């Protein structure tokens, strides 16, 4: 049985060139980047090169990049680090109802310590209303954290417009107000330029763009005060101390360089496959709904609700046919709770339980899509029949 992987928003395969770049630092070049001898200096140079590669992809200066273990640590460092650094100026945070748990749970942690949090709602299409953000801002707001691209439905949020609100407040004297964006699903998929966006902090993760798990970064604009979340050495200017994982950092840098070179090509490829998948679903499977704003989304994610399908059997049945996809965020797998993102969109809970996320990458092919459509049609027809659903009637 051929395996078809359509869960690239959860993680991506490591690019062969990335493996090649990191391999020497797993073997001969094993020095500690903080050591002053020749072996340590080789690692130090490699970390510096990776820092430039990451900075180049997002339009930052290299000294504005803080390496981390991934998106979750980066999000936590941004939200909690800024909140704690500016606590004397205010203890209010604005976020959205569809953020990744790495942001929502960081906010929940701060709430337990006395901060207040406003989670702004989204439209039925899953887009944050800029005016809702404006009305939520207070004089004691120190952090606004709104994701760039949603990981479940792929909607692109109006970050530049929200940044303009933050600049307005700062111009009026609220210098303690900062904007963070979780760009884990955006980086390497769409153009990301921290200057054009106007953000103060931006999180990214390597394993979403063909680097290994365990590598990530946080952009911190020059002048932003950030409290460390862990303590030890001097690494990352004290913001994220600890011996650098040189192989992972090198891998992240290489993946960012490749992503920058292939950004448009990858987006065109995944968009064509996504459109083929969605057109096939519309044509072949009755009673479906597509989640997310069709006019404001990335090319690599499609989220579909299949009505009248027992959700617990859908994903497993597809997996048995060799098709890997997801029912929601990978970090929530195993949970019986419906996706908080789809709940925020106002989708009926029964419909949510029949929802799937398909996410694509450069390695996917037309054959993958066509075979996945065959499997989907067969599985859904069988599940509806076993549930006593008249498929023909559903189509009408």
Q: Domain check: are 322 and 349 in the same one?
A: yes
Residue 106 pLDDT more than 70?
yes
Q: Round to whole Å and give the CA distance between 59 and 61.
A: 7
Tell whether the model's pLDDT for residue 396 goes beyond 80.
Answer: no
Residue 275 and residue 195 share a domain: no
In this prediction, residue 389 has a pLDDT band, given cuts at 50, 70 and 90, of low
pLDDT band at 129, cuts 50/70/90? Answer: very high
Average pLDDT across the chain, whole number: 94
Kindly report the pTM of this predicted structure.
0.95
- 269 shares its domain with 218: no
Q: What is the number of structural domains in the chain? A: 2
Per residue in 214-264, pLDDT (tens digit) is 999 999 999 999 998 888 888 888 789 898 999 999 999 999 999 999 999
Clarify whether residues 272 and 242 are in a common domain. Answer: no
Q: Is 30 left (phi over 0), alpha (psi -120 to 50) or beta?
A: alpha
CA atoms within 13 A on the CB side of 155: 25
Residues 106 and 212 in one domain: yes
Over residues 170-209, the pLDDT tens digits come to: 999 999 999 999 999 999 999 999 999 999 999 999 999 9
CATH code of the domain in which 276 resides: 3.90.1150.10
- Please state, in angstroms and rounded to a whole number, the distance separating the CA atoms of residues 363 and 187: 18
Nearest to 385 by CA among 305, 304, 310, 284: 310
Domain with 137 in it: what CATH number? Answer: 3.40.640.10
Q: Domain range for residue 270?
A: 4-11+263-395
pLDDT band per the 50, 70, 90 thresholds, residue 395: very low
pLDDT tens across 61-70, in order?
999 999 999 9
What pLDDT does residue 230 have?
85
Boundary residue ending a domain (200, 234, 259) = 259
* Domain shared by 219 and 83, yes or no: yes
CB 56 within 8 A of CB 260: yes
Give the active site residues.
331
Q: Residue 352: is its pLDDT beyond 60?
A: yes
Domain end position, chosen among 231, 259, 287: 259
């Amino acid at each position: 049985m051929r395996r078809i992987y359509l869960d690239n928003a959860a993680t991506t395969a490591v690019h062969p060139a990335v493996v090649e770049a990191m391999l020497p630092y797993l073997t001969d070049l094993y020095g500690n980047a903080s050591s002053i001898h020749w072996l340590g200096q080789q690692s130090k140079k490699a970390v510096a090169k990776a820092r430039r590669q990451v900075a180049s992809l997002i339009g930052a200066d290299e000294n504005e990049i803080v390496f981390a273990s991934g998106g979750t640590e980066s999000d936590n460092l941004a939200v909690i680090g800024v909140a704690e650094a500016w606590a004397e100026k205010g203890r209010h945070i604005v976020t959205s109802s569809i953020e990744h748990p790495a942001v929502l749970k960081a906010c929940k942690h701060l709430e337990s310590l006395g901060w207040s949090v406003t989670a702004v709602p989204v439209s039925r299409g899953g887009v944050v209303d800029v005016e809702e953000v404006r009305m939520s801002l207070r004089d004691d707001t120190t952090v606004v954290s709104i994701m760039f691209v949603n990981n479940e439905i792929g909607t692109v949020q109006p970050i530049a417009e929200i940044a303009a609100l933050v600049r307005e407040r700062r111009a009026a004297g609220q210098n303690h107000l900062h904007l963070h964006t979780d760009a884990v699903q955006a980086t390497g998929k769409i153009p990301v330029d921290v200057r054009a966006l106007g953000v103060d902090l931006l999180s990214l993760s390597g394993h979403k763009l063909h680097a290994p798990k365990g590598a990530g970064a946080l952009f911190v604009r020059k002048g932003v005060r950030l409290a460390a979340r862990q303590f030890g050495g001097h690494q990352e200017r004290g913001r994220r101390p600890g011996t650098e994982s040189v192989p992972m950092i090198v891998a992240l840098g290489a993946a960012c360089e490749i992503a920058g070179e292939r950004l448009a090509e990858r987006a065109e490829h995944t968009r064509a496959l996504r459109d083929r998948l969605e057109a096939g679903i519309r044509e072949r499977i009755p009673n479906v709904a597509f989640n997310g704003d069709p006019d404001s989304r990335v090319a690599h994610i499609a989220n579909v609700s299949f009505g009248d399908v027992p959700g617990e059997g859908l994903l497993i049945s597809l997996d048995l046919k060799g098709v890997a996809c997801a029912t929601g965020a990978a970090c929530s797998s195993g949970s019986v709770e419906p996706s908080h993102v789809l709940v925020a969109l106002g989708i009926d809970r029964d419909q949510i339980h029949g929802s799937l996320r398909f996410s694509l990458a450069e390695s996917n092919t037309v054959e993958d899509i066509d075979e996945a459509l065959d499997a989907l049609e067969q599985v859904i027809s069988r599940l509806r029949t076993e549930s006593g659903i008249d498929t023909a009637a559903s189509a009408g």
